[in-house]
Chains A and B, each alone.
Chain A
Amino acid sequence: MTIPSDAQLREILVDMVMARTQSSRLWNLQRQGQVGTVAPIDGHEATIVAATHALDTDHDWVIPQYREPLALRRYGPEILERFMLYSLGHPAGGHIPDPIRVLPNQISLGTQIPHAVGIAWGMALRSEPGVALVFFGDGSSSEGDFYEAGNLAGVLNAPVVMVCVNNQWAISTPVHLQTAADSLADKAAGFGIPGVKVDGNDAAAVYDAVDEARKRALAGRGPTLIEAVIYRLGAHTTADDPTRYVPPEDLEAAQRNDPVLRLVSQLRDLDLWDDAAQEKTEAEALKLIDRAVEAARSAPLAADALLDHCLSADSQRLARQRSQLLDARSPEAGGHG
């Protein structure tokens, strides 16, 4: 068992508090009409942050679904900057700069799991040390891509860590309507790989499970499926009203097991955290997100950006469409400039 050091736990808590603070700010910005749909992070912080703290950011890949970016701070400030561009709808939001080993958000559920297996397989083929860690939810575990990718990962012995973040809800559908299996970790048996179930509200437990899976993969012993059991404390997204379907007593029980409050309490007992640390971290989080939103708002956007990066070079047709678009947008045409 690998237990994170006190210093690591403190770093993990800083990232967790930052993620929750920024998620809350983002929710408000959405309500003000300043950004698009937001998927709040509340309840997911320990799993996502602790998992990434068990990785080697120079070599290991993170392949997210879409709720994770605010919790991927360990991979660099560019993640937040790009995520704010993404939230504002700027195309550059999808370009996480080289050499950061994080893919942009994936909206189509579970489709990123085959990509993670491909990355892990590719790294193994090139004898590069590293693993691919992919996040997906309990809902995604019903997708065909989960089964096809988990199966292929097993056959290839690919160095992939599959982290199923079981937050109990796929929008309004509870996990017992996703599967008749007792546990999502049990599905690993069908792939012939280890399946591990952890308390996803316990940062140290998640860190340990990912660390072990990573070491196993690096030793050539193949993939692991980790089910991190948590509870979605917020709405699915800003477009969702969970009071229609989440039993209040379940939510209250989950709130008593809030992963952020839990680690705060643990680190307070160790004299590693106090009110000043909390306030300082929250202030820093707000400063960073506000700055990133400001930068995203003033990011340049070419008049024909719509057509960029579809193909490596414009086809005859795209070249014509580019001329038409630019003509339509020129001031002489009365376009929108």
Chain B
Amino acid sequence: MKLLRLAPENTKFPFMRFRRVSYPFSALLSLIAVALFIFKGMNFGIDFAGGTVIELRAKSGAAEVGTLRTLGEGLHLGDIEVQAFGNPADATLRFGLQSGGDVAQQAAVERVRDAVGAYYDLRRVEVVGPRVSNELVQSGTLGVVLSIIAVLSYLWFRFEWQFAIGAVIATMHDLLLTVGFFSITQLEFNTTSIAAILTIVGYSLNETVVVLDRIRENMRKYKKMATAQMVDMSINAVLPRTIMTATTVMLALFALVAFGGQVIRSFSLAMIWGIFVATYSSIFICSPMLIYLGLRNEDADKAATQKHEAEHKAEDAVSAQDEAPATPSAAAEKTPAPARKATGKRAKTRPA
């Protein structure tokens, strides 16, 4: 039986070379995300902003959004948002906090019920008062912050500190881009979105850990290899798994988006974006950080460089037969930057 392979075999992508592109690129995206958050803002749902959502279904025929809007505006409940979705008989009404505290919220629902109750069933009513929404904001923020701290302390305990820092930066990156996603799409941001964010954090770290685990293993196995090369090798080794897993999770998520209904659609869309970003960041953000943070002491790197040059030359000669045999200078070209720098810096002390 011929089996399906999505990931090419035995890849040798020089991922670490892209760090000069991926870092500025990601920094730019993160800045855009922050700018979006500040200037465009989020479409906070009633969980965080307070207010009321009422889901209606027409007792007969289709929901008339225009009529509902006129009716709603006539009730003077502030900005009222009327939306149709899914089934043509369905519509949602959403309006913000009423002045006059919790009692006024309930009174507003009564007025809507009186106004539309003859033609529509109220299938779902959610009212969140000002104090409760404030508490939900607090617990949501606390949840995100706490989970990041908890997960990082696990990483710090389990891996070298450079790994933990790399993971923090990658996770922050994913978090920012997810926030940017919510801002640019104006998907409703509510408590389920916090669940999405935490799951993305979990998935992002899961991805990161898989890559880091392999890097750590190879770090012990190939003591003399240059960091960048070793990282590249590790990422290439786990690449088929990364692609496989991202695909299966995406398949599950697409099913949720297509069939899961209105309530979890924004959750699923955010997750799809998150999986994409997390996969990218584990390769292009977290791993190169190890090089910047000097995962190994430079003596090892320096020694490795020499060895690597020789190995690489031989390897190139074998694997790329139609290429001209690599010259020593070409091989040196391929040696990643920090290793080369290390070589230069330590040149004086190096025994001839």
Q: Do A and B bind each other?
A: no
